[in-house]
Chain A
């Protein structure tokens, strides 16, 4: 039988390959199935992380011990951090939507190295299990915080080695995904799809992939050094043997600050797709958005020191890092202006993804502006390591990446599953989630300004009011989260069949059936001179 006809008999959810059932998924090299594998594994890890966060908030409901001891609290925020950073937001949008959409958006049948792509997911799973083994077995759950700061990371008696090794493997998975995407974007664009016609989501994936590729090895080797330190006592970061713990912080943040841009750039890309579609208007400043994406990726690589203003760096370095940090704000602001300008005089179609996108802009702006407070040297010393910082990065990472992720899942859901969700429940879920989010994190800005430090299970009586509000916020947020998840899970199998192009988008994924067939396209599309990802009439 002819192979192309086989490919198009069934959509990617249905087709039968060499293996059946679950094996047909975990050994599939189809980029769409791999994207869903990531979606499911990340959804599980995200739920675990949310539960841990909920537990921390419950502990902070009242001063003193509420539900856990200090050591348990330390372990809880460590595991919450490791899960949320390394297993959820860093793979984040690229692993799920990048995998699913990148080849379709550029008119290709798959990524450049499909087997490597599957290997990335296997590395991801291996990393997850290693970290989980550190929690469940051995001499106690890691309690260093997700940053594994030296020298505590090799003095702590807890079971850190598997966690460190797990983070290393997760990094490997991230590198391979980035490598794959870069080669795919360079080599597999369909005829006529010039660089200046790429959808912005693809552009942000391109920038992200470069950061994944160039920053992740830095943390990889640094974590290996910490492991060697624990095993052999080499002395590289051990002040007792002449090592410099601040050098560890440098190396750690050389990765982990760009990692923030790994999280946020694809989020911005998804928003840049959603806003033109629901405004039915060409994106405002296409090239400015590309330029700002690349500027963020590049400058973001060179500002790591703003995490270390109180660590004991030289004054010169502090000035430099503070200045560059302010510079990163410019391209981020450019994007916000472009999104708002895209909506201006557009025919706006208010749907769930649009709600998420607009609330993304709102929380991202608050997160970004509070970032400037932290980037200013004097203010930073005042609020360093307080709840203010926690509020800031949750507004950026959860409010930014998280909201964009929900926007993306509601936007591409009909394409991915071929079914539509219940819009009323989706909107209700969004509203409750948004109210919960603001209630949860806004008080922490205030608490931080008043001097409540982060990473303590206890606080002074005067911070009680704000903490109660924040904890109540966490309950509202989780209520919204449950509604969203139940609605999506139910609709994936029971929702009404979705059309090919329910939102009237112009990018290539809307030209293939929902859900897409195994090899995406019957024939590789050709982009004409007048076509473009945002050419609305």
Chain B
């Protein structure tokens, strides 16, 4: 079976990722503290998306997975975004 070629991720990398995640968290807290109006939501979501990307790529090993698994993940996120957009076709134009 093809279980042998497992990539062992070094501890060091995980620590770097954690530091990045924590930094992004504190940055987003700082940014949303400033009054930016509607940009606040966009900013907070942007930070959350970057954090999610890091978790998916490193903690969840997508970086080392076969392309089709990555494709599935992208597809599901895309479906979700499209669902939101289509729902808002109703609410934005009511």
Contact = CB atoms under 8 A, between A and B. Distances in A.
Nearest to A312: B94
Interface size classification for chain B: 10 to 19
Interface in B48-85: 68, 76, 79, 82-83
A302 B90 contact: no
A316 B93 contact: yes
Contacts of B79: 214, 301
B90 A314 contact: yes
A316 B89 contact: yes
Nearest to A304: B86
Contacts of B93: 314-317
B86 A302 contact: yes
Contacts of B68: 186
Given A254-B83, A302-B82, A317 B76 contact: no
A250 B83 CA distance: 10
A68 B90 CA distance: 40
B3 interface: no
Interface string A315-335: 111001000000000000000
A265 B53 CA distance: 34
Given A254-B83, A302-B82, A313 B76 contact: no
B82 A314 contact: no
A443 interface: no
Contacts of A315: 93
B89 A320 contact: yes
Majority-rule SS of A interface residues: helix
Majority-rule SS of B interface residues: helix
A316 B88 CA distance: 10
Contact of A317 (B82, B83, B89): B89
Interface string A114-156: 0000000000000000000000000000000000000000000
Nearest to B91: A314
Nearest to A298: B79
B8 interface: no
Interface in A272-308: 301-302, 305
A314 B86 contact: no
Interface in A479-532: none
B82 A305 contact: no
B89 A314 contact: yes
B31 to A, nearest CB: 29
Contacts of A317: 86, 89-90, 93
Interface of A: 186, 214, 246, 250, 254, 301-302, 305, 313-317, 320
23 contacts: A186-B68, A214-B76, A214-B79, A246-B90, A250-B87, A250-B90, A254-B83, A301-B83, A302-B82, A302-B83, A305-B86, A305-B90, A313-B90, A313-B94, A314-B89, A314-B91, A314-B92, A314-B94, A316-B92, A317-B86, A317-B90, A320-B86, A320-B89
Given A250-B90, A313-B94, 20 more contacts: A214-B79, A250-B87, A302-B82, A302-B83, A302-B86, A314-B89, A314-B90, A314-B91, A314-B92, A314-B93, A314-B94, A315-B93, A316-B90, A316-B92, A316-B93, A317-B86, A317-B89, A317-B93, A320-B86, A320-B89
